[in-house]
Every structure is written in C-alpha cells, then in structure tokens.
C-alpha cells in the first residue's frame, strides 16, 4: 500500500502534483503566471496566500513584492500602480477588506488596467472568523468586472494564469472570490512551469478620472460588458452536464462539489465558476427543465439574477425560498436535503457537552489590559468600552466582558469619539497595534482636532496576532504617530502589561480617564505566541 | 474504498500535525485526499476540528456529511462527542481520556466518561503514556498510534514512515521520540 501510484504523483497534463491548501494553490498559480507583486493585509481566510508567496523560492529569487501592507486600500492602490507599470499584481484580503478598498477597487474598473490585476476576496460564510458573511460577488457586479469562483484547489491554481490573461485581454481587474472551505482545505494540485514576468511597460493613456475622462472611460467599461459575458459563456470553468431530470441545478463554486457528492452525474446542471452569469447556458437549462434550484455559498446573488433572467413565471428555488438555509455556509447535508436525498441515521447529540469558545491565551498581555481596565472602570458605572478587530475582541467574552462594541477596523476610536461628543463619559477605545495603523490613525486625528474626551488604549503586542503573527506596520512608531497626530506628550503613556505592574497600570488608566481630552495609553508586550516562536528560533 | 475521519480537540493540542502525517502517508500511497482545516479565531483555546477524507476514488466534497465519518480521532474526551452527528453508525471514536478543562461549565467528569463508554469508542490517557515514553509533548503521536489500526486504508507501517518523513528536518532524536510515542499507542491494542 505504500507504493506510490504514478498516475497520482504526475497529473494528466504531465505536471507534478502537490498537496496544497486552496490559498497555497492560488499563491503558486499566481507565481507561475508571472506575478510581480502581491499586496495584502492579513485576514482569515486569505492570509496564507501572501505567506506562501513570502516563503516561495521562485518569488524570492525574482524579488516578487510580498511585504504586508497597512490596509486593504493601500494594497489595492499599490497593486493598481504595479498594473499601471505593466506588471501582474495580486491583491488579497478577507471579504470585509473589500469594503476598505472599495473606492480604489471600483475606480480601478473605470481606469482599467495594464498589467493583469486580480483582486482576491476570501469570503467567510458561517462567520468562522468574521463579523459578517457579505458576498464579494456583489462587488464584482457593482464594479462591472468579471468574477472567478473556483470549485476546487486545481481550478484555483489554473484560474490564476487564466485570470491574468483575461485581465490583460479585457484591460480590467478580475475579482476572484473564494470561501473558507476552499481557502483552508488541502488537496492534490497538478502544477505547471513558471512563466516569466511582464517587463516594465507603463500605461500611455491617461488614468486621470476627471469627469470628462471618467465619462468616456465609464462608457468604454460598459462597452466591454458583452465581451465579459461572452468570456463567461465560452469559459471551460462554466460547465453544462445533462441528465433527464425535471429540476435543473445551477451550482456555483464549491456548491458543485456538494451536488456531485450527493447525486453524482444524475442532474441537469450548469456549474458556474465565472461571472457575469452565463445567461444563455442558464436559459437553455431552464428550457430543458420545469424548475431551477440555485445552490451557492454566501448570499443569494445568482438566485436573484436567475429570477430576473427567467421572469416571474418560472419557478426558481434556493436560499430565498427556504429550500436551502438563508444563512451560513453550504454543507453536504443541506445540499443533499435540498436535492431530496435522505441522510443516514445519526447518533443523538451528547448530553455531557459544553460550548468551548475561543479565548485569549494564558499569559497574553491583553488579559492584563482588561484586568486593569475592569478594575478601574468598576468605579465608573456609566462607562463604555468600544472594541475593535483582533485577538483582543475576545475581551468581550467571559471572564472579562469588557467590550460594548466591535464593528470594523478602527471603529473603536471613532465610536468612542462620537459617544463622547454625545456626552458619554468615560468613553474608552481598545484597539490593537496593527488595527490602529490599518484604520485607527485617521480617527485619532479627528478626536485630537475636536479635543474629544476619550481614552484610547493601543494594546501593542508587536504583531498582527489573530491571523498568526504577521508583521505589524507601526511597530516601534506608535508614540511618534500619536505625537505627530497632535496628542499631547504628557497624555501618551506607555506601560508594560504584566500582573506585577497592575498598580501602575490602573493608576495610569485612572489619570487618563480623568483627563478631559484625548489620551493614549500604550500597553506594550510581545504576543506570547510570537514570543515563544522567536525564543525557539533563537535556541536552534 | 474510502475513509472519512474527523480530527478534533482544543486549539493548540496538535491535531494539525496528526492531519499532516496522515496526509503525507496518503499522498505516498497514491490515495485521493481532501483535508479541511480550521485556521483563525477558534485556534485560541476553542474547539477545533479537521475533516480528513481519504479514498481510492476522486473525492468531491471537502466536508464530511452527517453520519458519514468512519472515525473520530480526538485529543479530548468531551470534544470527541461534539461531532457525534457526523459519526457513522458503524464508525468508531478514538480519544484521549483526559479532560482539558479551560471553561467554567465543563461537564461532570464521571457522567462524561460513562456516556463515552456507551458509544463505540476506545480511550486512553495519552498524556501519561507520552510521559512514560519520555516524550511528554508526543501525546498526539500516541493518539495517532491508537487510531492507526482503525484507519485501515493506510497501513500502520506507512504511518510510521510518514512520521519519519514529516519530522526529518527536526532531527533523528525527534523522529525517534515520536515513533516511540506512536508505537506505544499502537501497542495499547485497544
């Protein structure tokens, strides 16, 4: 049994096979497609793409840009600049990162691109590690650009070369939308040979979106829609499968796998992995069947489009009709049920069971910050603590239960400011170091200019902890940043969050709450995960 | 032939290393494989699981269906029962017997062990066995050894070879220590 099966070690196309996460397949696909730069901010489930490129030998040898960016907007803009210069660039982010870079992204469709540009958005239906389950396919449609949605790791790899070519042919950015179960699932992928990078060849047309030029460019974008649609109709990633069934199935991305798992080849089906929606294929399917069942991970994007395409008289089922759950990721079970397949008998749930939510690590500095904060704020019953995105969001859960809000990157400072403007006192913001440079700095400037009565805690663990310890853009610069933004020097306080320092930390917090203006407290101690890793590396 | 395995435990207990070793053995044996992992927030001391699917035929879904798992391999007894609805009626639970208590409302242990005994399960105090082998950090290898005879689609020997390959870059000593822990799990003969 331990003899390798040669047909599996080498793929049908003669390439070698590698066991890769979906994220890794995307990264390697991009490198092999002649990538010159990846621009990204860490975010689950997209982080491993950039990490793979950072560690890859070919990328290193070629000097492919892979350093982390401050946020998704700076990433998107830098990638657009690289595309302007004629080279291939990849932007990676989790789905909510699309909101951060939306201005740059939507307008990149108006400027168009020169070198191929792929905008990779990793959606997180079921919110495994996210605050919502927004569907990035909406963004592609909104910006009027094509979207690729791989169904497996092999397609994820193959789509990178295809996507860069398509981007350069259309002169438009391409969105690639993946979901957690593809990003973080491993399978064998047949890989090819690396292509050379594009040479430097900057755009010669004006990318100046003054109204006169923008109107012309917008018209040009609209004129490309037919070519985008045709590319979808002809795409080998959009497949038709025929079987004598009354219900036709539209299976998008990884939904296709669950359909195949449940009913094999016994379905009249259109697999959708490239958008705009291949309308002719859907219409042909509808003509062959009595009704359509749309199966898609995320929000009912295609279900609504298909309803519009076929008109009110044609029955279309999916998440909106309750045939599939309205929320959460697809599972083999909910898809099998929607297809009318009975599932096997299951064991009853265990009686001796308790939820085990994630929690801050033992010895983590954020713990000491919350312990001190809770101790001081016990004397201020009207207080509110506005939280932010990172490991320290877990301070909302027992045993600390310190936070009243967590909305988006940076919102701690600005929400505290708004609440303070309304008269709330004390208004405290807790934000991590990486989140502060991502989106907190501008809000702090607003607060300084308004002399808002807020206390900002930048809990600095010298890394981007939640996503596994990536470099943090502001490390060693926080005092300088705060002073530069105009926070008064005597109200920028640094403490070391350790249990033995509790008297000092509580004293500092109390003083700064009592100061009627903007104060910043920076509790600074390295993340214990990265600390352990660094200690181990030193020993070896 | 196929084998669908749920690997589970608490974040930080080392289930991904078990997955890596089975994955290495499966790749070498020329099996098809899909492995859905959990990264991100829940790794911080929360419940974690990985779906590992091995087959002689192509695999579609990354996730195992309810009542579809042939095996649940767990680093923690309560966690071994969290995914019961995924266990096939013919399936088996292979688990550590020792609770990992990092929550205030952990169930009463005697009742938990009693319930576990009513299920098709085998259990072992893998941490003590690992300590007795002189490899206190090798509890996950003891567990893999315990589970090895039930994996079936891969031989015990192929898993040993995979341990040697996966840990090779950490040196001979680490390989030997992990093989010893693995063998102790196999020899527990559960």
Give the pair of three-digit tokens for residue A293.
Answer: 């069942």
Integer distance in angstroms from the first to the last C-alpha of chain B? 23
Per-residue model confidence (pLDDT) at position A15: 81
CA distances (Å), origin A46, targets A141, A158, A179, B101: 21, 18, 9, 31
The residues in A 164-193 lying below 8 A from B, measured between CB atoms, are: 181-182, 184-188
Three-state DSSP at A528 gives helix
Model confidence pLDDT, tens digit, residues B21-47: 999 999 999 999 999 988 766 667 899
Q: B47 contacts in A (CB within 8 Å)?
A: 355-356
Residue A5 has pLDDT above 60, yes or no: no
Q: Does B65 touch chain A (CB under 8 A)?
A: yes
Residue A368 has pLDDT above 60, yes or no: yes
Least confident of A294-303, A491-500, B31-40: B31-40
- Overall fold of domain A11-234: Rossmann fold (3.40.50)
ipTM value for the complex: 0.94
Q: Does A528 touch chain B (CB under 8 A)?
A: no
Looking at the domain assignment, is residue B104 inside a domain? no
Architecture of domain A239-338: 3-Layer(aba) Sandwich (3.40)
pLDDT band at A8 (very low <50, low <70, confident <90, very high): low
* B78 and B102 Cβ atoms separated by less than 8 Å: no
Average pLDDT (A228-252) is 97
Find the CATH number of the domain harbouring B41. 3.40.920.10
- Overall fold of domain A365-532: Rossmann fold (3.40.50)
> Total structural domains in chain B?
1
Kindly list the domain boundaries of chain A, sorted by start residue. Answer: 11-234, 239-338, 365-532
> What is B140-164 written as a DSSP string?
HHHHHHHHHHHH-SS-HHHHHHHHH
Higher pLDDT, A226 or B37: A226
Model confidence pLDDT, tens digit, residues B11-23: 888 898 999 999 9
Using CB atoms, pick whichever of B34, B106, B112 lies closest to residue A186. B34
Per-residue model confidence (pLDDT) at position A536: 87
* A432 and A465 Cβ atoms separated by less than 8 Å: yes
- Return the H-helix or E-strand segment holding A205: none
Using CB atoms, pick whichever of B45, B60, B102 lies closest to residue A261. B60
Model confidence pLDDT, tens digit, residues A85-123: 999 999 999 999 999 999 999 999 999 999 999 999 999
Per-residue model confidence (pLDDT) at position B40: 66
The residues in A 200-259 lying below 8 A from B, measured between CB atoms, are: 254, 257-258
* Mean of the per-residue pLDDT values of chain A: 96
Three-state DSSP at A123 gives strand
Q: Does B42 touch chain A (CB under 8 A)?
A: yes
What percentage of chain A has pLDDT greater than the value 90?
94
Q: How far is A349 from chain B (nearest CA, A)?
A: 6
**Inter-chain residue contact A128 with B38, CB threshold 8 Å:** yes
What percentage of chain B has pLDDT greater than the value 90?
90
pLDDT band at A6 (very low <50, low <70, confident <90, very high): very low
Structural domain span for residue B87: 2-99+109-187
Widest distance between CA atoms in chain B: 45
pLDDT band at A4 (very low <50, low <70, confident <90, very high): very low
Residue A342 has pLDDT above 90, yes or no: no
pTM equals 0.96
């Amino acid at each position: 049994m331990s003899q390798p099966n040669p047909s599996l070690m080498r793929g049908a196309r003669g390439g070698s096979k590698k066991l890769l996460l979906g994220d890794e397949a995307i990264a390697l696909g991009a490198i092999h497609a002649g990538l010159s730069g990846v621009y990204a901010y860490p975010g689950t489930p997209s982080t491993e793409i950039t990490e793979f490129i950072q560690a890859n030998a070919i990328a290193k040898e070629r000097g492919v840009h892979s350093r982390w960016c401050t946020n998704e907007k700076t990433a998107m803009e830098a990638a657009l600049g690289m595309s302007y210069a004629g080279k291939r660039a990849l932007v990676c982010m989790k789905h909510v990162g699309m909101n951060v870079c939306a201005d740059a992204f939507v307008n990149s469709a108006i400027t168009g691109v020169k070198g191929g540009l792929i905008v990779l958005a990793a959606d997180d239906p079921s919110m495994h590690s996210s605050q919502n389950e927004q569907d990035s396919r909406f963004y592609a449609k909104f910006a009027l650009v094509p979207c690729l949605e791989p169904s497996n790791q092999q397609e994820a790899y193959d789509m990178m070369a295809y996507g860069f070519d398509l981007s350069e042919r259309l002169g438009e950015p391409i969105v690639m939308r993946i979901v957690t179960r593809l990003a973080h699932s491993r399978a064998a992928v047949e890989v090819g040979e690396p292509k050379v990078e594009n040479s430097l060849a900057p755009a010669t047309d004006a990318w100046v979106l003054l109204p006169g030029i923008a109107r012309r460019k917008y018209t040009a974008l609209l004129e490309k829609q037919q070519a985008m649609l045709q590319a979808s109709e002809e795409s080998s990633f959009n497949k038709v499968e025929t079987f004598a069934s009354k219900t036709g199935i539209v299976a998008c991305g990884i939904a296709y796998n669950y359909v195949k798992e449940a009913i094999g080849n016994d379905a009249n089906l259109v697999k959708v992995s490239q958008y705009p929606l291949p309308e002719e294929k859907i219409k042909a399917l509808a003509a062959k069947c009595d009704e359509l069942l749309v199966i898609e991970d995320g929000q009912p994007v295609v279900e609504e489009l298909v309803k519009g395409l076929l008109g009110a008289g044609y029955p279309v089922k999916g998440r909106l009709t309750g045939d599939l759950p309205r929320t959460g990721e697809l599972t083999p079970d909910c898809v099998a049920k929607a297809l009318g397949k009975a599932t096997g008998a299951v064991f009853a749930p265990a009686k001796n069971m308790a939820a085990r939510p994630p929690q801050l690590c033992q010895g983590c500095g954020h713990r000491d910050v919350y312990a001190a904060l809770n101790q001081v704020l016990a004397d201020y019953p009207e207080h509110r603590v506005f939280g932010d995105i990172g490991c320290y969001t877990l301070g909302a859960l027992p045993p600390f239960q310190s936070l009243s809000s967590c909305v988006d990157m940076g919102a701690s400072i600005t929400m505290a400011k708004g609440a303070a403007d309304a008269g709330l006192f004390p208004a405290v913001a807790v934000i991590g170091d990486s989140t502060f440079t991502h989106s907190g700095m501008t809000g702090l400037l607003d607060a300084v200019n308004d002399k808002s009565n807020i206390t900002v805690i930048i809990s600095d663990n010298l890394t981007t902890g939640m996503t596994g310890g990536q470099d943090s853009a502001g490390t060693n610069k926080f005092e300088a940043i705060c002073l530069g933004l105009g926070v008064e020097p005597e109200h920028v306080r640094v403490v070391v969050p350790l249990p033995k320092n509790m008297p000092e930390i509580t004293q500092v917090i109390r003083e700064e709450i009592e100061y009627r203006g903007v104060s910043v407290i920076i509790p600074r101690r390295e993340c214990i995960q990265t600390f352990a890793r660094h200690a181990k590396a030193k020993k070896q | 032939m196929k084998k669908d395995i749920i690997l589970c435990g608490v974040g930080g207990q080392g289930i991904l290393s078990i997955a890596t070793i089975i994955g290495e053995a499966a790749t070498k044996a020329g099996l098809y494989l899909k492995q859905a992992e959990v990264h991100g927030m829940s790794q911080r001391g929360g419940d974690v699981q990985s779906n590992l699917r091995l087959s002689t035929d192509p695999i579609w879904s990354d996730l195992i269906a309810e009542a579809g798992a042939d095996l649940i391999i767990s680093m923690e007894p309560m966690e071994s029962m969290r995914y019961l609805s995924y266990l096939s009626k013919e399936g088996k639970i292979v688990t550590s017997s020792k609770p990992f208590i990092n929550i205030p409302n952990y169930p009463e242990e005697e009742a938990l062990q009693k319930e576990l005994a009513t299920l098709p399960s085998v259990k072992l105090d893998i941490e003590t066995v690992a300590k007795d082998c002189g490899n206190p950090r090798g509890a996950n290898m003891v567990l893999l050894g315990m589970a090895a005879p039930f994996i079936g689609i891969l031989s015990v020997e192929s898993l040993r070879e995979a341990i040697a390959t996966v840990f090779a870059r950490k040196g001979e000593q680490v390989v030997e220590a992990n093989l010893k822990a693995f063998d102790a799990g196999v020899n527990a003969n559960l």
